Amino acid sequence: MKKTLFIIAVFVVSLFTGCAKSKAGTPVSQKPVESNTQPAAQAPAPVDPKIQKLNRVLMSMSDRCKEAIPNGDPAEFLADLEKVLQIEKAFPSDDLSLYYLIDKKHTVSADYEPTHLRKLVANNDYIINKTTLSLREDAADALAEMGRAAKKDGITLDVSSTYRSYETQERTFNYWVSVDGLEEAERESARPGTSQHQLGAAVDFGNIEDSYALTDGCKWLNAHAQEYGWSLSFPQGYEDITGYRWECWHFRYIGVEACRFQKKWFSDIQQFMFEFIDAWKNME
């Protein structure tokens, strides 16, 4: 039985790695082969259905996503996935999941708005740069917690943009098209219904410019945001994956466990993880 699972694991891991990368864990294929105490001829044991499913999901993913997944033990991967999906069950059931895949191909309707939006008001945890900001409640709580942690390190985070309604996105997108033309506008501004901001769980910090990356606030976020469940959505060098150029200021609240999962198994690319979770849920 053990030997058969090992063989299956090698097969899955070969799918994990389109390339020779081995960042996390010992590649299963390089583990020492156990001494052969089994009879030579043995009927194959039934394959674990979860491993079979993992295989099918991985085969459906893009080559770049496959390449981003490091070598490792499929059982460990599945255990980590299970943990992330268990936590999702505790999210508010009357709203979209914090793992909801939204991008240029996966949208929400014009009338979608988060069920529990909380207006952000002046407070001691972080600065608000506008009086029209709001987030869904779980994200607002997590932002306050992160703001307090930053303050302990001598950093005051400043929040510039949060929930955006469909109408706001429409206005913003049309404005940027009129200024920069359609092609350039697509790189930075979301078409209505495709923005993480409509989920009420994304925040733009600071001046919303590349120069924000040089600030202590942005450096702190890069080092610590994931400890509070906030993930950088549009990292440098992944425009072809996320659809957006690098946005050092844009973080999405996804929860601490999902941040860990993203970092451990998806080369820290949020888009790959959510594409995987979406595919996993939709696969029979």
Rounded to whole angstroms, how far apart are CA atoms 240 and 284? 28
DSSP string for residues in 176-199: HHHHH-HHHHHHHSPPTT--GGGG
Any idea which residue has 């599945």 for tokens? 78
Answer yes or no whether residue 250 interacts with Zn ion by CB under 5 A.
yes
Give the nearest distance from C-beta 238 to Zn ion in angstroms: 15
Answer yes or no whether residue 252 interacts with Zn ion by CB under 5 A.
no
Nearest to 72 by CA among 18, 34, 29: 29
Which CB, 71 or 172, lies closer to Zn ion?
172
Among positions 30-89, residues that touch Zn ion (CB under 5 A) are: none
Which CB, 16 or 126, lies closer to Zn ion?
126
Give the nearest distance from C-beta 200 to Zn ion in angstroms: 12
Give the nearest distance from C-beta 106 to Zn ion in angstroms: 17
Answer yes or no whether residue 204 interacts with Zn ion by CB under 5 A.
yes
Q: 251: which strand partners?
A: 203, 232
Rounded to whole angstroms, how far apart are CA atoms 174 and 168? 10
Which CB, 249 or 265, lies closer to Zn ion?
249
**Taking contact as CB under 5 A, which single stretch among the options 43-51, 146-154, 250-258, 261-269 is the one that binds Zn ion?**
250-258
Give the nearest distance from C-beta 272 to Zn ion in angstroms: 19
Which CB, 153 or 184, lies closer to Zn ion?
184
Which CB, 4 or 160, lies closer to Zn ion?
160
Size of the site for Zn ion (CB under 5 A): 2
Rounded to whole angstroms, how far apart are CA atoms 85 and 258? 9
Give the nearest distance from C-beta 24 to Zn ion in angstroms: 29
DSSP string for residues in 99-120: T---SSSS---TT---SSEEE-
Which CB, 71 or 270, lies closer to Zn ion?
270
Give the nearest distance from C-beta 101 to Zn ion in angstroms: 17
- The answer to whether the CB of 233 falls within 8 A of the CB of 202 is yes
Answer yes or no whether residue 275 interacts with Zn ion by CB under 5 A.
no
Answer yes or no whether residue 164 interacts with Zn ion by CB under 5 A.
no
Footprint on this chain of Zn ion (rule: CB under 5 A) = 204, 250
